[in-house]
């Protein structure tokens, strides 16, 4: 018969193998190569960069777990929120429905795998700005990239 040490060793080896290869049990936060070890807390800004106040920007933002409500932004307005990424379960995700006059767009303002690494590099903030020709993204509130066109 096998000794208790051999049986314990086999059980330990099997348990460790399952733990390290199971997609949920083995998940760890992704480390980002910055001067920080990793980013857990973020702030998302959604700003009105439209040309006039004739039609303000209307927002409704939410995550899988939280409804951040309705917001009206006038020229230069900034709605922002701070959160921590989830360490277990589904990845962190926030979206905003934006309406400007007769135009609208659904924007994923934070996904852990896309905006998470980019925004971690520049101070843990993601910036979105609605402009007349579309919706722009920035990691640093200086360099802007158009990510969405308005829908009619």
Residue 12: inside a domain: no
Residue 7: inside a domain: no
Residue 8: inside a domain: no
Residue 14: inside a domain: no
Tens digits of per-residue pLDDT, 37-52?
A: 478 889 999 999 999 9
Tens digits of per-residue pLDDT, 46-100?
A: 999 999 999 999 999 999 889 999 999 999 999 999 998 887 777 889 999 999 9
Q: Number of folded domains in the chain?
A: 1
Give φ, ψ of 107 to 5 degrees. Answer: -125, 125
**CATH number of the domain to which 60 belongs:** 2.60.40
Predicted TM-score (pTM) of the model is 0.73
Residue 13: inside a domain: no
The range of the structural domain enclosing residue 39 comes to: 34-149
pLDDT at 18 over 50: no
Residue 118: inside a domain: yes
10 Å CB burial of residue 126 (0-12, 13-18, 19+) is buried
């Amino acid at each position: 018969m096998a000794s208790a040490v051999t049986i314990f060793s086999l059980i330990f080896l099997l348990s460790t193998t399952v733990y390290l290869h199971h997609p949920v049990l083995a998940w760890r936060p992704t480390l980002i190569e910055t001067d920080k070890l990793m980013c857990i807390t973020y702030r998302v800004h959604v700003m009105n960069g439209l040309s006039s106040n004739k039609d303000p920007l209307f927002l409704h933002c939410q995550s899988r777990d939280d409804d951040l409500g309705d917001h009206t932004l006038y020229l230069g307005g900034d709605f922002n929120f701070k959160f921590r990424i989830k360490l277990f379960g589904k990845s962190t995700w926030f979206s905003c429905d934006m309406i400007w006059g007769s135009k609208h767009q659904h924007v994923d303002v934070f996904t852990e795998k896309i905006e998470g690494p980019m925004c971690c590099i520049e101070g843990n903030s993601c910036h979105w700005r609605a402009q007349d020709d579309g919706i722009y993204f920035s990691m640093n509130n200086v360099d802007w990239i158009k990510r969405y066109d308005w829908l009619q």
